[in-house]
Amino acid sequence: MHRRFLTLTLATLTAAALTACTAGTEGAPTLGSRPKPSGSASAALPASAIELWHGFSAPGEVKAFEDAIAGFRTKFPQITVKLVKGVQDEQITQAVRGGKAPDIASSFTTDNVAQWCRSGTFQDLTPVIGQDGIDLSVLPEVSRSYTEYEGRRCVMPLLADAYGLYYNRALMKGSEPPKTLSELTELTKKLTVRDAEGNIEVAGFIPSFQYYENSASHLAPMVGATWYKPDGTSAIGSDPAWRELLRWQKDLVDWYGYDKLEKFRKSLGQEWSAGHPFYKGKVAMVLDGEWRNAMIAGEAKDLDYGTAPLPVSDTRPDLYGSGFTAGTVIGVPKGAKNPQAAWELVKYLTTDTSALVTLSNALRNVPTTKASLESPDLDKDPNFQTFLDIFAHPKTSTVPANVNSTFNQDTVQEFLGRWEKGAVTDLDAELAKVDKRLDDKLKLSGG
């Protein structure tokens, strides 16, 4: 849930910084120079101290990380581990450029993975993964896809977010959660309540792309829309699934009335507060991530709600049960002082079932190996199980790694804001312009 607080401006600044050369790391040991291990890893590693930077900051989150590495400290008593909390991406990048890299760093966002891999900001883990005989099939394919770029796996997946549908049982009045877009439209209209002037009092579902988690990346899997062609250029204008999503969304916006929908949306409580409109019965169904279960437990414990996969295109029933995912990533930056010990901790945190279950139980994010998803020690109820199933679904997707990931998503979001407002008269022409902006940026980036 925590990476949602990262701003697009921060990600953009980080991406810009990543294009600069890395200084101050000449002569530092690397994973590429690691000798082939013999015997146990514990015996082979000398006494050392490593520093791990992460973005978690709340006391419970910090404790979760400490608890998760307890087993590592038992396995490697000669290695001292220092955890540094509340670190964001640009701090990692600047530290690497300044020759003061931590041994390990984690990030809440996958948007910088392509730049990190291409620039060498994070070291390629492929050699040590092979040396240690790690079978990457223990990770779902989608999490493998967002942790590598151009053949370099420079980070590993740690925890994941999965997105689904939350629904208020009282407001649903016995209706089952919708499985298709047409069912979502019908139920939205049935559950929406207006006053005598037509103002919205309760929304069945808010279709606005500006509403909380309703970003293009989170909604695209509902219709199987793709971001890029095989050659890396934009598929936004050529993939008909985008048109299907846009026309469905605009029809529902127009049914509400754009001005009335905006008036209602702007009157609602904050997403990250106890005043969330879903808690207050102002919205019957919302798109959200798995972390919302934990927030409901703390902020609206009496709320009677359920969870389900997101509805999908009526022509793509095979997509039902899937959704969008992205996740926390972790790796060894260039210039790490003790990269071999750092790799052992990265490997432990990302492949050890006990460590992943400990983190998931405390943070209520999805663990990222098949064994941890199925562990009997994982705390799960039907509402959380929904997101475990979404993450594991073979058709669950993400935004593919791209050196311009943040720019591309910002560009699409800007267009979507104009689209739902009714400022776009020629959809095909505007989508072609989106393609051109993305493709021109790719050329500038050497793609």
Reported as a single tens digit per residue, the pLDDT across 327-338 is 999 999 999 999
pLDDT of residue 100: 96
Residue 30, pLDDT score: 83
What percent of the chain has a predicted confidence (pLDDT) above 90?
87
**Percentage, residues of the chain above pLDDT 70:** 91
pLDDT band at 37 (very low <50, low <70, confident <90, very high): low
Q: What pLDDT is attached to residue 40? A: 55
pLDDT of residue 45: 86
CA distances (Å), origin 437, targets 40, 297, 444: 52, 43, 11
Q: Quick one: pLDDT at residue 36?
A: 59
Residue 31, pLDDT > 60, answer yes
Q: Average model confidence (pLDDT) for the chain?
A: 92
Q: Is the pLDDT of residue 19 over 80?
A: no
How confident is residue 20, by pLDDT bands cut at 50, 70 and 90?
very low
Residue 281 has pLDDT above 80, yes or no: yes
**Model's pTM, two decimal places?**
0.92
pLDDT at 39: 52
Query: pLDDT: is 421 or 19 the higher one?
Result: 421
Average pLDDT rounded to a whole number, residues 140-161: 95
Query: Which domains does the chain carry?
Result: 2-161+325-392 (3.40.190.10)
User: Given a cut of 70, is residue 413 above it in pLDDT?
Assistant: yes
Q: Higher confidence at residue 120 or residue 40?
A: 120
Give pLDDT tens digits for 42-51.
557 899 999 9
Q: Quote the pLDDT of residue 10.
A: 42
